[in-house]
Amino acid sequence: MRGTASRKMRLTERHVAALTREIADPGFSSIAGARAATDADYDALVAEIIEASPADGLWVFAYGSLIWNPAFDFIDKRVGVARGWHRAFCLGWDRRFRGNPEQPGLMLALDRGGQARGVIFRLPPDALKPNMDKLIRREMSMVPTAFPPRWINVATAEGPVRALTFAMNRKSGRYINGLSPEALADILATACGFRGSMAEYLFATVAHLEELGIHDRHLWHLQELVAARIEENHGIS
């Protein structure tokens, strides 16, 4: 593994296991001003994305769970930097996937400012539609979405690439900003939904970033804080 030789995560699988529990999928819950996405919505958006994709290939910039659990097939991947954007736990409130009504979670999204190192994946040109359909259905459950797909420039060692990503709409009612690292840690150390816990999400993201040689100082600090809270809450030493 690159990047982990001199750093050891405090947040471990043992911490994650302490939060693991079975939660049934509550299903789609409507939000004011939004509705559940339909097959027609997905078909139209997929067609629009493919039509707008660069001639040299359709790349997707991943900054969170898509790095370690991509929802599509790919034929190439590279580490890249998205300048003018940073990853942040700013997409709220998740009361289904990794949170619940009593303990809602916050998901990662790209927010304006700074820079984010991540991974770009190139989709197979002969299977764009089915793979993009899988991705869009995973990332977008309602219309309008709070973090719509958009094209950004990504710098890589092999040269610049135009890639698709999902970035936060700050005008959305789901945009959460201004929480301290301590407040974020309180949320991430308790929230759990039918797909798993926020601690698991954070653990997997930081671990895979480190394997790629990507050290996100903000997420690294968060995993230390989250681990400390889980240790205190569950008697882990």
List the catalytic residues.
139
Contact status, residue 38 vs residue 89, Cβ threshold 8 Å: no
- What gap in Å lies between CA 232 and CA 237, rounded to an integer? 8
Helix (H) or strand (E) holding 142, with range, is strand 142-143
Length of the chain: 237
Query: Taking a C-beta distance cutoff of 8 angstroms, is the pair 198, 230 a contact?
Result: no
Alpha helices in the chain (DSSP H): 13-19, 39-52, 65-68, 128-139, 181-188, 198-211, 217-234
- Residue (of 41, 17, 11) closest to 144 by Cα position: 41
Peptide bond into 144 cis (omega under 30): yes
Q: Please list, in sequence order, all residues whose beta carbon lies within 8 angstroms of the beta carbon of residue 109, skipping any fewer than 6 positions away.
A: 64, 87, 88, 90, 91, 146, 147, 166, 167, 168
DSSP summary character for residue 160: -
Rg (CA), the chain: 18
